[in-house]
Amino acid sequence: MKNNLASRLQSITLAVVLVVGPGCKSPGGSAPASGVERPPEPESQARQQAPASAPPGMVWVAGGTFWMGCEGCGMPDALPAHRVSVDAFWMDRTPVTNAEFERFVQATGFVTVAERQLDPRDFPGVPRDKLVPGSAVFHATSQPVPLDNPLQWWQYTPGASWRHPGGPGSSIRDRADHPVVHIAFDDALAYAQWAGKRLPTEAEFELAARGGLDGNLYPWGNELTPGGRAVANTWQGQFPARDRGEDGYVGTSPVTAFPPNGFGLYDMGGNVWQWCADWYRPDYYAVLAKAGPVAHNPQGPTDSFDPEEPGAAKRVLRGGSYLCTDQYCARYLVGSRGKSEVSSGASNLGFRLVRSVSR
């Protein structure tokens, strides 16, 4: 446990900073090469047929074998590309929305991590009136700044939560169809248990995000803005000073604001980061690649380790967010990875769920 409030709040903010990640632009500014740019394996062509009836709000994702990872992206934790086989499953058509999460809270009385009072026993010597729950909120800078210190644009904000995504005074009143944010890992697990679903594995998420395409850089194809048209909620402009909102949004967007991918899934890239079930280790792909020719339904490593923050327990995130840009974080690339400390939420962090196929 942290023994003072400042270190606790800094650890929360730093955990979110690591979600944004280092610059991901490929060397020389050329398009990054996906780790799946190979002829499809025979197994990937064998698709399981969907059952006759679909669970409400869910999409069938046929199983298959694919190359997982992102070569040439400047992201060491997405290397090496390796063959993975995933069984068929159902996936939520969209990230969980504010309206859906509100129904869960009304039914259960659940209180999210960002809303829970900090325990004074964890912070000896800190006045109780300083122990205010909250979460990390993005704030655009007033002018361009060097990109070496994300604490310039991330702030721990007392009172920020899923109900008040920008902090006190903000609300979700007109955002029922936006993705819920400020969700810690345990919050997502609690919702999943209530809904009778589970979080996707990282492999399931990438297979689903590819939308049936082979070798694609993004969930929708190989161009970030095909024909000059925005197809995802990302950052336009000089990060982190000004998002020009050329895609129609500054901040989160409705979960069906942009076209779905080939499987009919929305927001598989951009808008908000999404939790996966896997623990995060940067060397996990190398371990899988050495273990055999094909990893079947990989569940992630048995524990977490991030050399950038060795004491933090982290899970994998996928999909990128409205803050992603080629200038700084291009993790809307379909083979790229994110990470976050499990007890931290943020104003760009949500989730969606999956359901295994009944046998």
**For residue range 282-322, what is the model confidence (pLDDT) as tens digits?**
999 999 999 999 999 999 999 999 999 999 999 999 999 99
DSSP-derived secondary structure for 133-180: -EEEEE---SS---TT-GGGTEEEEET-SSSSTTSTT---TT-TTSBP
* CB neighbours of residue 213 within 10 Å: 21
How many whole angstroms separate alpha carbon 20 and alpha carbon 324?
Answer: 8
φ, ψ at 97 (rounded to 5°): -95, 170
How sure is the predictor about 359, in pLDDT bands with cuts at 50, 70 and 90?
low
* Number of separate domains in the chain: 1
Contacts of 227 (CB under 8 A, 6+ apart): none
Q: In the predicted model, what is the mean pLDDT of residues 99-119?
A: 97
Domain that holds residue 283: 5-48+57-356
What is the three-class DSSP state of 270? coil
Question: Which DSSP state fits 221?
Answer: B
CATH code assigned at 76: 3.90.1580.10
**For residue range 125-172, what is the model confidence (pLDDT) as tens digits?**
878 887 899 999 999 999 999 998 999 999 999 999 999 999 999 999
What is the three-class DSSP state of 104? helix
**For residue range 21-42, what is the model confidence (pLDDT) as tens digits?**
433 333 233 334 433 333 334 3
**For residue range 47-89, what is the model confidence (pLDDT) as tens digits?**
578 887 899 999 999 999 999 999 888 899 999 999 999 999 9
Lowest mean pLDDT among 181-185, 210-214, 231-235, 350-354: 210-214
Report residue 170 as tokens: 């903000």
Predicted TM-score (pTM) of the model is 0.89
Helices 185-195 and 98-108: angle between axes, nearest 10 degrees: 80
Between the two ends of the chain, the Cα-to-Cα distance in Å is 43
Average pLDDT, the chain: 88
- CA angle (179, 353, 344) in 5-degree steps: 60
Q: Give the model's pLDDT for residue 27.
A: 29
**For residue range 216-259, what is the model confidence (pLDDT) as tens digits?**
999 999 999 999 999 999 999 999 999 999 999 999 999 999 99
